[in-house]
Amino acid sequence: MSTDPLVVFTPSGKRGRFPKGTPVLTAARQLGVDLDSVCGGRGICSKCQVTPSFGEFSKHGVTSSPGALSEWNAVEERYDSKRGLKPGRRLGCQATVQGDVVIDVPAESQVHKQVVRKAATARDIVMDPATRLYLVEVEEPDMHEPTGDLERLARALAAQWDIPRIAADPGLLGRLQPTLRKGGWQVTVAVHHDHTGAKPRVLEVWPGLHEGGIYGLAIDLGSTTIAAHLVDLVDGQVLTSAGVMNPQIRFGEDLMSRVSYAMMNPGGDKEMTRAVREAIDTLIAELAGEAGIAPQLILEAVIVCNPVMHHLLLGIDPVELGQAPFALATSDSISMGCAALDLTAPNPRARCYMLPCIAGHVGADAAAVALSEEPHKSDDLVLVVDVGTNAEIQLGDKSRVLACSSPTGPAFEGAQISAGQRAAPGAIERVEIDTNTREPRFRVIGVEPWSDEEGFAEAAAATGISGICGSGIIEAVAEMRMSGVLDSSGLIGSAEQVGTPRCITEGRTHAYVIHDGRDQGGPLVAVTQGDIRAIQLAKSALYAGARLLMDEMGVDKVDRVVLAGAFGAHISPKHAMVLGMIPDVPLNKVTSAGNAAGTGARIALSNVAARAEIEDVVHRITKVETAIEPRFQEHFIAANAIPHATDPFPELSAIVPLPDVSYNTKGQDTDGGGRRRRRRA
């Protein structure tokens, strides 16, 4: 085994061993990591900036020390003095590998920018925001009646708008007096009304009639991506939406890896807190710039996230969430100033509301999904599945709602897949396989034609074909099963067994080639046996969680399924069911809710009464803990088969007959084509 240093790149997860002295940029290029550079490695363009991470990374099996990269050289010193490097950043063309290291490639250093598929979903929302504008006439000061300007503003709000009491941050007082006088004692006031009954709080004041609008943010803080919507607080219009990768990925792709990092690296939790706060702040500034508004007009934010993200954002060590009984520091909703989260982009007095968490592994994002999809108001039994790195599942109707989380891992998002990548131009996102010829056709993000259609080669030349993203790998595996390339146990057949040269030998197993671009200097995009196993583990965890809720509810079937999140918007119900990711129902009873967590955040942002409603609903949801439930393991094992070892899936069978093939050689050595080798005497 090579003793060369191990280099792990995030967020791609690609890894390899390289001799000491190898430039980081060279290692990235050899692994197919998406790291930009246009100056030929001379340290001029700065596009190859990377962020090394130091500490113990149990997920990657790496301990990375500060000496894992070479010291700063003169080129980096010169660039930093002239143009500046963010703290912790290195130039990939100058830093060389000296030891095992984890290296993050930030979004701005990636050639193919991440496509964050969490656009705002169209939704009718009754506008009743917590923060409103009021135009008031304030009495001028009178030396015979000595009262402060704030007190006379409060008196005006009470008399003219029936707002009896107000509070104001000291930072507002410095603006209040000059603004009152500039407006001739007529001012527009932004007042925040907390639904808990606390004093209304004055957030901002403008001279005269303010017509510039006020805005809020609905933020879905996921373990992989951070998506945000900039919303007009007057009419509810979404001005713009954007997203970035969660920079915490470099500390671990899944939640427990990040908990582990915090446990094994003193100060690791603070490091992750700082990273995610900076990312949100940068995203807010970008949204304001894109919408063409002053960031100071952003007066409110609603944030939803899972429990680990919740604690790390708030600066709480998540260690208790990594072990039974998975205790939250608090499960209640939180109202506070955005400044308490070190957010400097919005108005300094902007308020932040975080929805309540349901339980230790079912967070505020699940509460937002419940607010959006309302399983507690459903006449029929509905299963709501929100899949990310961690799946959160709800099952219920008007009588009762159950919830659980299931550790699906990052495979559904293209991580831990041999040719996997995040959704970006150049990634294969759709796959179909002909059941007769076993030949594939595919679509690439950023390219309109399919691979077998006229004009594909010319269109794909602009993006290249760089790998396969989550939706692509899910469809590929399902299509492999439907076409007989894959058997029900998850084994890929040999070329002789399947009847196509696209099944190639890979050690003692086989892989199915979707695209081979090696002749043109591109990658081999193939689905390996290891990829199949990763998808099996993810989908088994998802199905087992749903089945556990069905057991608890005392049912063998559900009436309908709602797929939430980017997963639900980009995966066909047929492919999800062929894999056995969701229970068997008629395909017309499987619908997509889009980014339901983001929609729930927008509802809470736009309607203050919805906050009280979801706080009440959360207290009535019954949590089922998969981590300590023995039946979860039983369901998990049975769900390893594709679609399932014992559940019959009659609705699926009626429309998609799956080939009855088996490539299990019962442990016998084969020649790769399914024929047994003769044993030597």
Mean pLDDT (whole number) for 406-433: 84
Q: What's the pLDDT at 677?
A: 37
Q: What's the pLDDT at 122?
A: 62
Q: What's the pLDDT at 118?
A: 56
- DSSP class of 235: T
**Ranges of H-type helices in 408-504:** 456-463, 470-483, 495-498
Q: Is residue 227 predicted with pLDDT exceeding 50?
A: yes
Cα separation, 84 vs 69, whole angstroms: 20
Q: Is residue 411 predicted with pLDDT exceeding 90?
A: no
> By the 8 A CB rule, do 377 and 614 touch?
no
Cα separation, 34 vs 12, whole angstroms: 8
More confident residue, 522 or 38: 522
Residue 19 tokens, joined: 């001799």
User: 6-109 maps to which CATH number?
Assistant: 3.10.20.30
Q: What's the pLDDT at 114?
A: 56
Q: Is residue 27 predicted with pLDDT exceeding 50?
A: yes
Residues in the chain: 681
Range(s) within the chain of domains with CATH label 3.10.20.30? 6-109
Q: Is residue 571 predicted with pLDDT exceeding 70?
A: yes
User: 367-410+535-655 maps to which CATH number?
Assistant: 3.30.420
> By the 8 A CB rule, do 114 and 245 touch?
yes
Q: What's the pLDDT at 58?
A: 78
> By the 8 A CB rule, do 629 and 382 touch?
no
Q: Is residue 87 predicted with pLDDT exceeding 60?
A: yes
Q: Exposed, middle or buried by CB within 10 Å (0-12, 13-18, 19+), for 284?
A: buried
Q: Sheet containing 6-10: give its strands across.
A: 15-17, 6-10, 101-104, 49-53, 90-91
SS3 56: strand
Place of tokens 């981590």: 627
Cα separation, 145 vs 342, whole angstroms: 41
- What DSSP element (H or E) covers 611? helix 608-620
Cα separation, 147 vs 143, whole angstroms: 8
Strands 509-516 and 503-506: antiparallel
> By the 8 A CB rule, do 600 and 371 touch?
yes
* From 238-252, 436-450, 654-668, the region with the lowest mean pLDDT: 654-668
Range(s) within the chain of domains with CATH label 3.30.420.480? 218-357
Q: Determine what percent of the chain is predicted with pLDDT higher than 90.
A: 67
Residue 262 tokens, joined: 């915090």
Place of tokens 């087992």: 544
Residue 613 tokens, joined: 């409603």
Q: What's the pLDDT at 1?
A: 58
Residues with Cβ < 8 Å from 142, sequence gap 6 or more?
A: none
Cα separation, 596 vs 584, whole angstroms: 22
Cα separation, 678 vs 681, whole angstroms: 9
CB-CB neighbours of 509 under 10 Å: 16
> By the 8 A CB rule, do 46 and 35 touch?
no
Q: What's the pLDDT at 674?
A: 41
> By the 8 A CB rule, do 365 and 386 touch?
yes
* From 120-124, 162-166, 437-441, 513-517, the region with the lowest mean pLDDT: 120-124
Buried b / exposed e over 112-151, threshold 16 CB at 10 Å, is bebbbbbbbbebebeeebbbbbbebebeebeeeeeeebbe
Name the band, by pLDDT with cuts 50, 70 and 90, for residue 119: low
SS3 194: coil
Q: What's the pLDDT at 638?
A: 96
Residue 68 tokens, joined: 């894992």
Q: What's the pLDDT at 3?
A: 85
Mean pLDDT (whole number) for 612-634: 91
Q: Is 532 left (phi over 0), alpha (psi -120 to 50) or beta?
A: alpha
Cα separation, 436 vs 646, whole angstroms: 28
Q: Is residue 614 predicted with pLDDT exceeding 90?
A: yes
**Ranges of H-type helices in 403-511:** 456-463, 470-483, 495-498
Q: HSE of 250 in the Cβ direction (CA atoms, 13 Å)?
A: 24
Q: Is residue 434 predicted with pLDDT exceeding 90?
A: yes
pLDDT in tens, 120-149: 566 678 899 999 999 999 999 988 888 899
Q: Is residue 232 predicted with pLDDT exceeding 50?
A: yes
Cα separation, 386 vs 406, whole angstroms: 10
Amino acid letter, residue 565: G
Cα separation, 275 vs 266, whole angstroms: 16
Range(s) within the chain of domains with CATH label 3.10.20.880? 131-207
φ, ψ for residue 595, nearest 5 deg: -80, 80
Cα-based distances in Å from 455 to 447, 449, 450, 468:
10, 7, 9, 21
How many Å is the Cα radius of gyration of the chain?
A: 27
608-620 and 596-606 helices cross at what angle (nearest 10)?
Answer: 130
Fold adopted by 131-207:
Ubiquitin-like (UB roll) (3.10.20)
Mean pLDDT (whole number) for 184-190: 96
> By the 8 A CB rule, do 285 and 201 touch?
no
Q: How far is CA 251 from the centre of its chain?
A: 15
CA-nearest of 312, 546, 294, 208 to 406 is: 546
User: 218-357 maps to which CATH number?
Assistant: 3.30.420.480
Q: What's the pLDDT at 400?
A: 96
Rounded to 5°, angle at Cα 364 from 197 and 323: 120
More confident residue, 674 or 110: 110
> By the 8 A CB rule, do 250 and 42 touch?
no
Rounded to 5°, angle at Cα 487 from 482 and 488: 90
Rounded to 5°, angle at Cα 626 from 621 and 629: 110
Amino acid letter, residue 313: L
Name the band, by pLDDT with cuts 50, 70 and 90, for residue 358: very high
Q: Indicate the average pLDDT of the chain.
A: 90
Strand-pair partners of 385: 393, 563
Q: What's the pLDDT at 673?
A: 38
Strand-pair partners of 562: 384, 591
Q: How far is CA 427 from the centre of its chain?
A: 18
CB-CB neighbours of 248 under 10 Å: 28
> By the 8 A CB rule, do 96 and 76 touch?
no
Mean pLDDT (whole number) for 9-16: 81
Cα separation, 468 vs 11, whole angstroms: 14
Mean pLDDT (whole number) for 357-374: 93
Cα separation, 643 vs 488, whole angstroms: 7
pTM, two decimal places: 0.83
More confident residue, 593 or 401: 401
Cα separation, 516 vs 438, whole angstroms: 15
> By the 8 A CB rule, do 205 and 188 touch?
yes
Q: Is residue 209 predicted with pLDDT exceeding 50?
A: yes
Q: What's the pLDDT at 323?
A: 84
Place of tokens 């219009």: 237
Q: What's the pLDDT at 32?
A: 75
